A and B are shown apart, each in its own frame.
Chain A
């Protein structure tokens, strides 16, 4: 569904919002520096898989279940998120990351086609629960850089890193 809607967004080039609790997604036009053209279907697939990775992230950190990352994360990104979940479990903490909006742009497609880099200006809510008691709920704006690599049936997030916008 997300992939389909992303494809539509690519076509019409407008902002749209998913149903309730689904983030608004805006996809900026690409202006790639590399020699390899990025087909619209490839772009839509990568972006759809990236947005699905946010859902996995939310569920995994909320439920402290690292196995929920398996489908959408790989390599360093998965290792680091898994470590976070283990630490949360040890401390009795849970976190909820509810993404509200994404402003996405594909900024690099490697010449051999084995990696795609996205920049995502994202707004999300962070809720911190210690022993199920809410300690804070806060809206955050951050600029995420993600590197996705192809796997068997989808793009997976290999690098997932944020900085201030």
Chain B
């Protein structure tokens, strides 16, 4: 028969050999802001390994149980849902906590489309903004995003939209006057700018005239402008069509300085028309009736 002292010694040794038990617990904070310093409290005795795991980050620390373990700033920077687990503690003892995005926006992902469009389009320009913190975490807390579209003529359109799940979007009209417009998205002190080219729309009416030059006919459009008075850009194609005696000939001419010119055969009785895009101009009947 063994003495009580021997039994006590055996029990002590066995207890030291046992793995960590449920008495050893880990208590992370419910939420940590990305990049902030934080601490985790453990209970129990002895040393253990503390794991913090999530798809965004993993940590492994040797800790003294029963003490608070401190984690300096910038230890956990990726927002997400994490588990704090002590080595050897039953699985149900792991504690979940969140790393939330930092509160301060530091980066905007701003997509403005299109980069070039005709003037005078209602809701023709769209802007989408995703708001991120300094660690590229999507800030999901609502934040007001100011959208501002300013044209060269001084016209300004503004909208303020609150983010939902980190995103805000707005639509703007293109201006009546051609030129570059600045599209700015701003959250707090952070802003992002895109340049939108607003170009003339389709010609608003197309007129041409013709005059004879030797055995040729010189056809010429008037100065072509869109319905807002902007000169149609050089390079826009005008198609002149001549119908004579059942035959058709066409000439495609780019506009230069707002005007398109071409030479065509001067047939008596020919019918000549001009068109560009979806716009059809006047028709000229040339020669004797």
Contacts and interface: CB of A to CB of B under 8 A. Distances in A.
Q: Decide if A and B are genuine partners.
A: yes
Interface of A: 33-35, 57, 61, 76, 79-81, 83-84, 87-88, 91, 93, 95, 97, 107-108, 110-112, 114-115, 117, 119, 126, 128, 130, 135-138, 140, 142, 145, 147, 159-164
Nearest to A35: B171
A10 B138 CA distance: 28
Nearest to A88: B58
Contacts of A93: 51, 53, 58, 60
B79 interface: yes
Contacts of A119: 165
**Residue among B53, B98, B136, B138 having the largest count of chain A Cβ atoms under 10 Å:** B53
Interface string B165-200: 111010100000000000000000000000000000
Nearest to A118: B165
A116 to B, nearest CB: 11
Contacts of A35: 123, 126, 171
Main secondary structure on A side of the interface with B: strand
A112 B96 contact: no
B83 A140 contact: yes
A164 B165 CA distance: 14
B30 to A, nearest CB: 8
A25 B168 CA distance: 28
B94 A138 contact: yes
Interface in B67-87: 78-81, 83, 85, 87
A110 B87 contact: no
A108 B57 contact: no
